[in-house]
């Protein structure tokens, strides 16, 4: 009988302890027409934040590079994604899921993959939103 115990296998770190870096892109707005006869509008507004992928590389190095491109990334989200959507698209119940996929895909294409093929943006989140009433 051996008195030496083999060390217990190390458990994976809980998600809360994993490296997390977020870049805030700010708020994006578009006025949606409610009634053409009275020219009444209601806002579509989302605050967009990018969660960076820790597998991409050293986030202390890459986060400032993403932040330097904040204006370019904001321009892409506003002009190519939000403004390109029709009022009906922005009223759909799945609009946030759709925007999540489109923003992540387009901005990852802009930033480029790591040498190992990892995407820079792991998630797109909307910490705040004002969505129009579905009609």
Q: What is the pLDDT of residues 30-65, one digit of tens each?
A: 988 776 666 677 889 999 999 999 999 899 999 999
Query: Structure pTM?
Result: 0.83
Give the number of other Cβ atoms within 10 Å of residue 9's Cβ: 6
Greatest mean pLDDT among 3-7, 9-13, 42-46: 42-46
State the Cα–Cα distance between residues 121 and 114, nearest whole angstrom: 11
Q: Are 104 and 123 in contact (CB under 8 A)?
A: yes
pLDDT at 96: 96
Is the pLDDT at 101 greater than 60, yes or no? yes
Domain architecture of the chain: domains with CATH: 19-130 (3.30.479.30)
């Amino acid at each position: 009988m051996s008195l030496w115990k083999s060390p217990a296998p190390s458990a994976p770190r809980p998600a809360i302890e994993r490296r997390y870096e977020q870049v805030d892109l700010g708020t994006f707005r578009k006025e949606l027409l409610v009634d053409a006869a009275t020219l009444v509008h209601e806002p579509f507004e989302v605050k967009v934040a990018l969660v960076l992928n820790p597998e991409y590389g050293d986030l202390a190095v890459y986060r400032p590079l993403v932040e330097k491109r904040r204006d370019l990334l904001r321009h892409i989200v506003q002009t190519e994604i939000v403004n390109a959507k029709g009022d009906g698209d922005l009223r759909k119940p799945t609009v946030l899921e759709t925007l999540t996929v489109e923003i992540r895909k387009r901005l990852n294409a802009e930033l480029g993959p790591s040498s190992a093929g990892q995407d820079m943006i792991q998630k797109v989140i909307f910490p705040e939103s004002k969505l129009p009433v579905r009609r």
